[in-house]
Amino acid sequence: MRAVLLGPRAANRKTPMSTIFLVLFVISLVVVVLSLFAGIFIMARPGEANRRRSNLMMRARIGSQLGVVIFLLLYMATK
């Protein structure tokens, strides 16, 4: 509908919000990968304290994965 009203070039334009959501998506994706590797390295070491830290890193990774999905949906909605 937007392309019909504003011409064929209007459908290809990105809004500033979609660019912001794309940047936030990429940043949160990097956070997921970093927390995944940090959790794996922490889990590889023995000890009760490392087990608790590993659980904390897993929770952080799940939260950042939720952020990835939200930013991806917001990017797709504003594109």
Q: What is the pLDDT of residue 55?
A: 84
Q: Give residue 54's region: left, alpha or beta (phi > 0; psi -120 to 50).
A: alpha
| Cβ-contact 71, 21 below 8 angstroms | yes
Tell me the pLDDT tens digit for each residue of 10-43. 556 678 888 999 999 999 999 999 998 988 888 8
Q: Buried b vs exposed e over 8-45: b needs ≥16 C-beta within 10 Å?
A: eeeeeeeeeebeebbebbeebbebbeebbeebeebeee
Amino acid identity for residue 6 in this structure:
L
* pTM, rounded to two decimals: 0.72
Q: What is the pLDDT of residue 38?
A: 87
Residue 8 scores a pLDDT above 70 = no
Averaged pLDDT, 50-56? 83
Q: How confident is the model at residue 75 (pLDDT cuts 50, 70, 90)?
A: very high
